[in-house]
Amino acid sequence: GRSTEAHSLVRELSQASAAEVLGVLDGLMQVAGGVDVKIRRELGELQLQTAEALKKRLADLNMDQRLRLDHCFARAYAATDQPDKAIEVYESLLRKAPRDKTLLRTVAELMIECGSPKCLVGAKSKWKRLETLEKTGTQPFMEARYHVALCCFQLKEFDKCRQLLTVTRILFPKRGNEAIQEKLKKLEADVRRQGKK
């Protein structure tokens, strides 16, 4: 809540070494994970200002530092309710590391949160890719499968959603933890209700 001090800190940081600035940016995101939405947004704004200041010195950064800076921008955009910008940066990062499961999951979750048809189509594609990268029947596989079905449901692709859930129930009746099994059952009930309308 001390915005004047925060802005003063950003000005001071702009003179610090790239390594120090990136360390502070990483620290800001760790803090942001455990606070409410309002504070997270303020921290995101602070992170964005700090990242912008560091971007002016891009020539001084090595490839690893530039990559970290891109991650910082993406997380800051997400924290400040700019999902389109965050997705754009994450998509660029994914082109460099297409099999990075953590990155894929982050982008897929952000796209579901965005909720537009375009975002949901992108999310479905990302969850399908995650599904292929996970061992069949494991918890991460089941989570990816659930999200593919959820995207189908939200895109009003009810037949596809129903087929996917039916196949999943038959092939993996006891796979995944209780929470994911409950989510699958609820989604199956939701899509069944759609069929009755």
Higher pLDDT, 40 or 176: 176
**pLDDT tens digits, residue range 142-177?**
999 999 999 999 999 999 999 999 999 999 988 899
Asked whether 73 and 54 are in contact (CB, 8 A), the reply is no
Report the mean per-residue pLDDT for the chain: 87
Instruction: Kindly give, in sequence order, each residue whose CB lies less than 8 Å from that of residue 68, ignoring residues fewer than 6 positions away.
Output: 22, 25, 26
Higher pLDDT, 17 or 145: 145
Residue 29 binned pLDDT confidence (cut-offs 50, 70, 90): low
Using a 10 angstrom Cβ sphere, with 0-12 exposed, 13-18 middle and 19 or more buried, the burial of residue 158 is middle
